Structure 1
Amino acid sequence: MRADDVLQLMRTAPQRYETVRATLVYRGDGTKIRAVRERYARSEAGRHTFGDSPDEVWHPEPDSEFGWRCRIWRVDENQWRQELELPGGGTSIVVSTGRIRPFGTPEGPPGSSEMWELRTGEGSQEADPAWLIHPTDVFWTMYPFDPAGTASIDAELGRMELTVEEGISWAERDAVRLRGVPVGEWEYPPEPLWWGADEYEAVVDAERGVLLRLASRFDGGDIDALEVEEVRFDEPFDEEIFASRAPLP
């Protein structure tokens, strides 16, 4: 399989499943994240973003390894459920019901899907670590299932020098690994990839096109990586999945 074939597989991922249920695990290296972010802040691109004050760049991550785990139920961009395990115990639940808001609804723009969220457990949101802001933004947890959507990961990888490794297995799925090396310096942070990484790695489901792993690498190790721990496709979802106010079993 050529690199272009893998990128095309990613572009058509949402067409290749009716539903997806997955468990995601994120691992970050706070020391490497700080080094890469400070390198970006000192670059020409960083000065356009931060101005001439790189010392004022915010670093919410600890100077150590950290991470989070969540479960996803997804039909499409309008109907999904996320359950994020909170560090202090409990669960953050965010649901997009798939029901479209009518005109005159004050809670959100008309034409968008109705959403609700809640927390279980005794910890307050104010007590959450600062780095937990990322998984509470569903951009950071939903992009594996539509890699060419908002994140445009196919386009970012397409700008690199890519090699393809076939015949691998990830989360009990046949997969293809793309390794990408930048051919020039990024002019912007290519989120969810990290600007300034030495190389990038994407493990793509060979049948469905969803991402099973996405990592930015620096100085011989991962800056961070989002990995699918478990995934199931085309299971029937009943209404309880998008209505339950308690963590699902």
Structure 2
Amino acid sequence: MREIVFDTETTGLDPNQGDRLVEIGCIELVNRFPSGRTFHCYFNPERDMPEAAFNVHGLSVDFLKDKPLFAHKVEELIEFLGDAPLIAHNAMFDLGFLNAELGRAKKTVVSRERLIDTLMLARRKHPGGSNRLDDLCARYKIDNSKRVKHGALLDAELLAEVYIELIGARQTSLGLATVVAGVVETRTVSATMLTRAMPLTPRITDAERAAHREFVATLGDEAIWKKYWPTEAKPEERAAS
């Protein structure tokens, strides 16, 4: 199953009042795990940058003036998104800006049915608590120390981890705990790592088994290994099996 986690940065709050998209970051998930494929782009908004927006993401008009127009990158973006479900935090905000830009480029807009809103998921799972992205990272012990300002790709990466926690996808793995110097350390092992499609080819030869049996015989009748050593089958029993 393929899903896309995405985030946007803009010049303001309302695409219907002339605000524009200036950055988009997308992370591909396959079966709820990041595949390593991303899409990230800054855009020239063809307008000024309000101070309030600049204080949020730090993207100035001077920085963006030589970046491509949305219309110049729209085909690459559409190809990356494909028909996958789209995951965002406060998703209708991001969708509004994305669809406004798609409309300007005369491309088909994204339907609301494709959206998964992690803010709504968080409100259902943690009613009454704060569900900002930073708060969810703190709740799930996700390192967001690099998030000094908002950035679409970094925020999408953090949101992908939050999303996996919100839907309980990490429960499909097995946690193995060990104690080191009095501290519990947990390793996470995927369920797929615990099974094999076919058994490994035996790497012990018959000659090695015979040599080992001879060695065990020299240890005496009280050797504990003998309690777990299978009785040697008679030739006719081996043939019958």
Please classify the TM superposition score into its range, dividing by the shorter chain length.
under 0.3
What's the TM-score, normalizing by structure 2?
0.25
Highest relative contact order (Cα 8 Å, sep 6+), 1 or 2?
A: 1
